[in-house]
């Protein structure tokens, strides 16, 4: 797909791309320049949502267990 840059430096995102990447009017885009190439990355409105489910299974339980042990050591229990 090709688009043109307007005189004001604006770029239109093709409808197919907007639908596929769920890009709406308030979506922020990150521009990354790598050599002679530019990548455009849509940023989610909820950045925490990206990482949900990406960690190792049981990581939260292990972290909470470590924190409880740390508190016990600090309190001398």
pLDDT digits (tens, 9 = 90+) for 3-58: 999 999 999 999 999 999 989 998 999 999 999 999 999 988 777 776 777 777 88
DSSP string, the chain: ----B-TTS-BPPPHHHHHHHT--TT-EEEEEEETTEEEEEEEPSSHHHHHTT-SPTTHHHHHHHHHHHHHHHHHT-
Asked if the structure places residue 53 within a domain, the reply is yes
pLDDT of residue 33: 96
**How many structural domains does the chain have?**
1
Average pLDDT over residues 59-65: 88
Asked if the structure places residue 4 within a domain, the reply is no
pLDDT of residue 17: 94
Is 0.85 surpassed by the pTM of this model?
A: no
Range of the domain at 71: 15-75
Asked if the structure places residue 39 within a domain, the reply is yes
Asked if the structure places residue 35 within a domain, the reply is yes
Asked if the structure places residue 50 within a domain, the reply is yes
Asked if the structure places residue 9 within a domain, the reply is no
């Amino acid at each position: 797909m090709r688009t043109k840059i307007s005189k004001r430096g604006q770029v239109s995102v093709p409808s197919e791309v907007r639908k596929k990447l769920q890009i709406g009017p308030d979506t922020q885009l990150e521009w990354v320049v790598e050599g002679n190439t530019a990548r455009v990355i849509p940023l989610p409105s909820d950045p925490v949502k990206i990482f949900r489910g990406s960690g190792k299974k049981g990581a939260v339980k292990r972290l909470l267990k470590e924190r409880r042990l740390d508190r016990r050591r600090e309190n001398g229990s």
